[in-house]
Structure 1
Amino acid sequence: MSTSLPRKALIALTSHSAPFYSDGRVNGVFYTEVAHPYQALTKAGFDVDLASETGTFVIDAYSLQDQFLNEEDAGVLKSPDHPFTQLLRTGVRKADEVNADEYGMFFCSAGFASVYDYPTARTLQAAAENVWKRGGVVAAVCHGGAIFTGVIDSETGRSVIADKEVTGFSTEGDKLAGVLDRIHGDGAKTTAESSVIAGARYIAPPEPFGPFMVSSGRIVTGANPASAHITAVAAIEAFEKVVV
């Protein structure tokens, strides 16, 4: 479709953080849902920037548990000089400080916190709309799909995922994680619910926490933290198809 897309990706981060878990801990960015796409994209020759709606973020301590980190993740996390560690520390930009024209891919990372701020994160949504309009790839993993209710295709006036197959963290997964009542109690929607509101055909993963992703042309979505890497790889493959 396009031959002029920059080989550069913007990874979005949730800026929301508030007491969320039953023990009073706060929510925030799920670490590997940023780290794994960053690793896959940089390995594939992409320049990568990070941005949140406000320019601020908190890493969700829940995401730093051993069960979610492989050996490489743990090593990067402990290395203050690693490029990814440095980017997280000093390179996360406010969304209105980035030029969306510079990117050929928009990748939405997540965390439970995403369902609170992504639906109204208008500057991030506008960046995704810009990438989409120019023929680029728009991807999201886990709860990152909450952003799609506000990412509008200028030609149809509907969400970019309308009438497309997508996945994302399932409502059943939220229930099993013990956070569904909290999300609903706060008046927020699950990712699956947001997908339906946006007009998409939501496909739940066969296993709530197992790797699963769905490619629908230039829309690529992943189901959960275990899917962050394969979602990024599929987004790269989709990108290669539109730049030939």
Structure 2
Amino acid sequence: MKKILVVVTNVSKYPNLERATGLWLGEAVHFVDVMQKEGHEIDYVSPKGGYTPIDPHSLQADQMSELDWQYYEDQTFMNKLGTTLAAAEVNAAEYDAIYYTGGHGVMWDYPEDAHLQNIASTIYQKGGVVSAVCHGSAGLVNIKDATGEPLIANKKVSGFTNTEEAALGLENIVPFLTEDALVSQGANYVKGDDWAAFAVADHRVVTGQNPASGGAVAAEVLSVFNSTN
């Protein structure tokens, strides 16, 4: 059994727009469901700890699968999202993998959080997996490897595409574009079709493109676990 740290945002509103944001629920659900069915243990962390808001757009009928509804109605799961660990209090040595969920809010609290960066770097340096999906990949841009270089440099990495952001009309609202930020750190950015599930693994860094990709990321993380046992 492995122990996995799932990262969620504390940001509930766009700082520059009268619009709610938060965790894109399915990006947590579809990853967590795969891992729990394999018997792995999940903890939840956010930069500040405590409550993570749910992006209301992720709860619309056309975004919710039957599995999403099961988790949304699961009080134990929802209570965990309401009582997350604070990044500063996490002992990274306890974990075998970290998984950054998305939702637009993460772009304002993941990238500059030194505690999250240190957690991910520690997990990676002890042979663990660093993973992310969609906007959650923004959390990877400032993580350093043991030599002080960007962790994602020269690795195949995915995340929310510029064209997907433009399709939402938010390309000028977000503080940066996820795809561009990954490329700026030397990543070999790769993607599939817009809105289709896509994930890639490269040297224990596993990333998915968009909200449809949480389960695909989980499958790749499991493959890494199996190859390193």
Residue identity matched to 1:112: H
Deviates more, 1:46-55 or 1:112-121: 112-121
Q: Which residue of 2 aligns with 1:30?
A: 24
Q: Match of 1:134?
A: 126
User: Within 5 Å, which residues of 2 pair with 1:163-182?
Assistant: 163-182=154-173
Letter in 1 for 2:166: K
The counterpart of 1:112, out of the listed 93, 104, 111, is: 104
The aligned counterpart of 2:59 is 64
1:145 aligned residue: 137
Residue in 1 aligned with 2:48? Answer: 54
Q: Check conservation: 2:155, 2:202, Cα contact below 8 A.
A: yes
Residue 75 of structure 1: how far off its partner (Å)? 2.6
Give the whole-Å Cα distance in 2 for the aligned partners of 1:240 and 1:26.
Answer: 39
Q: Write out per-residue CA displacement over residues 84-139 of structure 1, whole angstroms, 9 at most, x where no aligned residue.
A: 2232233x111111111000001111111122221101111111001000010110
Match of 1:200 among 183, 187, 197: 187
**Does residue 87 of structure 1 match 2:74?**
no
Aligned mates of 1:87, 1:208 — CA distance in 2: 31
Amino acid at match of 1:128: A
TM-superposed CA distance for 1:19, in Å, is 3.5
Letter in 2 for 1:173: E
Q: 1:14 to 1:79 in 2, by over 3 A?
A: closer
Offset, 1:32: 0.9
TM-score by length of structure 1 reads: 0.89
Contact 1:21 1:179 survives alignment (8 Å): no
* Counterpart for residue 229 of structure 1: 215
From 34, 37, 44, give the equivalent of 1:43.
37
Aligned to 1:162: 153
Structure 1 position 37, deviation (Å): 1.2
Is the partner of 1:180 in helix, strand or coil?
coil
Q: How far did residue 52 of structure 1 move?
A: 0.4
Query: SS where residue 34 of structure 2 aligns?
Result: helix
- Shift of residue 21 of structure 1? 9.0
Partner of 1:73: 68
Counterpart position of 2:206: 220
Alignment partners' CA distance in 1, 2:198 and 2:71: 25
RMSD of the alignment, in Å?
1.6
1:79/1:9 CA distance change after superposition, 3 Å: closer
Listed as ranges, the gaps of 5+ residues in structure 1 are: 1-5
Cα pair 2:199 2:216 within 8 Å, conserved: yes
> What TM-score results when the alignment is normalised by the length of structure 2?
0.94
Measure the CA separation in 1 of the matches of 2:172 and 2:80: 34
- Residues of 2 paired with 1:132 and 1:213: CA distance? 19
Superposition deviation, residue 57 in structure 1: 2.0
Q: Is the 8 A contact 1:210 1:226 kept in 2?
A: yes
Q: Tell me how far 1:17 sits from its aligned partner.
A: 2.6
Residues in 1 aligned to 2:2 and 2:99: alpha-carbon distance in whole angstroms: 13
Runs of 4+ deviating beyond 6 Å: none
Q: How far apart in 2 are the matches of 1:38 and 1:197?
A: 30
Q: Is the 8 A contact 1:145 1:194 kept in 2?
A: no
